[in-house]
Amino acid sequence: MPILDRDAPLKFLRTAFQPDDWIAIFLKSYKTGRVTQRVGPVDWVMHPRFQAWLRFKNLSHFNVYCGVNAIAPWNRNRTRESIGAVRHVFLEADHDGPVVLARIAARPDLPEPSYILYSSPNRVHVFWQATGFGVAQVEALQKRLACELETDPAATPVTQATRLAGFLNCKYSPPNLVTIEYHSTDRVFTPPDFQVVEVAARTATPSARPTREDGFDDSVDRARRYLARVPPAIAGEHGDVHTFRVCCRLVRGFALEDDKALEVLAQWNLRCRPPWTERELRDKLSRARRYGREPIAGLLV
């Protein structure tokens, strides 16, 4: 088993946050399903006792996560309303990490990332240190970049968490050490540094789905490209919950009607084991539309 790096989390916390920031630490065991959250000042999280507790939990197969943005002081929750300051523009590539990094490097309208965290083989978290962003503004930018760079569209809320460098990723066997590379840490980026950002975040509605002049529905194409990267649902491996989340992305995030969503699901469903029946998928789409919490057309911003 890899050895924990005691200095790495301290360097990350010093680099990523201001000394008086409050942050959220989240622990999750994929073996037991148990979760634990702590919210407090950065210096409290960096204290040797707290770090020793994190190491103990990590060696007990708990994964260690940290919110990427600062929590308003005295708040105890990691909610959108509790975010006190946006500290990062953040993207998560859950596959093809080197390809995503090459796409970023080839974009003249994007500055060099501040640091890149390697959560597991082929998976990266990309950070730009940021200031001057509103919550809606940074979420709109992250959604747009996630679409253009083909990173995880579900990792775009301002409440997103990242793995904490220096600890073990216990989700897979054998565990691997989470590492980080620092680049442009001497600069903090503002909205004008991202030429693709809009000064005011737009509020998308289902009727505002982008279409081309030839009538092609771009939301369907985006949904197809998204689903091509999504693993299939496997019976006995939380396949039902996984499929519900996929349906939420389609009928809420991409604002597709049920018939269009079924059409997009067809190829993905063939990879599922076993495949869902049309009746089952229609039921899941209906429940996703009714009970899902994802903003309507949120992935089309």
Average the pLDDT over each of 31-35, 99-103, 138-142, 268-272 and give the range with the smallest value. Answer: 31-35
Q: Are 232 and 273 in contact (CB under 8 A)?
A: yes
CATH code where residue 136 lies? 3.30.70.1790
What CA–CA distance (Å, rounded) separates 169 from 1? 11
Number of neighbours of residue 215 by Cβ within 10 angstroms: 6
Verdict on whether the full-model pTM lies above 0.75 = no
Structure tokens at 251: 């009928």
The verdict on residue 188 lying in a domain is yes
Domain presence at residue 248? yes
91 shares its domain with 135 = yes
In the DSSP assignment, the letter for residue 164 is P
d(CA 152, CA 172): 19
Could you tell me if residue 201 is inside a domain? no
pLDDT, tens digit (0-9, with 9 covering 90-100), for 194-219: 876 543 344 333 444 444 443 444 78
CA distance 292 to 173: 32
Confidence (pLDDT) at 189? 94
Residue 92 has a pLDDT of 94
| 67 and 121 share one domain | yes
pLDDT in tens, 229-263: 889 999 888 888 899 989 988 988 888 888 899 99
Give the lowest-confidence range in 78-87, 99-108, 201-210, 287-296: 201-210
E strand map for the chain:
22-28, 35-41, 63-67, 70-71, 83-85, 88-93, 115-120, 123-129, 161-163, 168-169, 176-177, 179-182
As a whole number, the mean pLDDT across the chain is: 87
Q: What is the pLDDT of residue 108?
A: 87
- Of the candidates 49, 46, 84, 52, the one whose C-alpha atom is nearest the C-alpha of residue 68 is 84
Query: What mean pLDDT is predicted for residues 118-146?
Result: 93
Q: In angstroms, rounded to a whole number, what is the distance separating the alpha carbons of residues 260 and 9? A: 45
Among 57-61, 77-81, 88-92, the minimum mean pLDDT is found in 77-81
Domain end: 193, 220, 245, which one? 193
**Residue 36 located in a structural domain:** yes
**pLDDT tops 50 at residue 221:** yes
The whole domain housing 257 covers 206-300
| pLDDT-derived band at 301, boundaries 50, 70, 90 | low
User: Over 50: is that where the pLDDT of 84 sits?
Assistant: yes
What crossing angle do the helices spanning 258-271 and 278-291 adopt, rounded to 10°? 120
Q: Quick one: 51 and 171 in the same domain?
A: yes
pLDDT at position 24: 95
Decide if 57 contacts 36 (C-beta within 8 A): yes
Query: By three-state DSSP, how is residue 43 classified?
Result: helix
First vs last Cα of the chain: how many Å apart?
A: 43
Rounded-to-integer distance, Cα 114 and Cα 126, Å:
8
From 133, 167, 193, give the residue that closes a domain. Answer: 193
What DSSP designation does 301 have?
-
- In terms of domains, do 158 and 223 share one? no
The residue-averaged pLDDT of 108-130 equals 93
- Joined together, the tokens standing for residue 81 give 């309303």
Whole-number pLDDT of residue 203: 37
Residue count (the chain): 301
- Tell me, yes or no, whether 284 lies in a domain: yes
pLDDT band at 178 (very low <50, low <70, confident <90, very high): very high
Domain count, the chain: 2
In three-state secondary structure terms, 231 is coil
- Asked whether the predicted pLDDT for residue 74 surpasses 80, the reply is yes
Three-class SS string for 64-115? EEEECCEECCCCCCCCHHHEEECCEEEEEECCCHHHHHHHHHCCCCCCCCCE
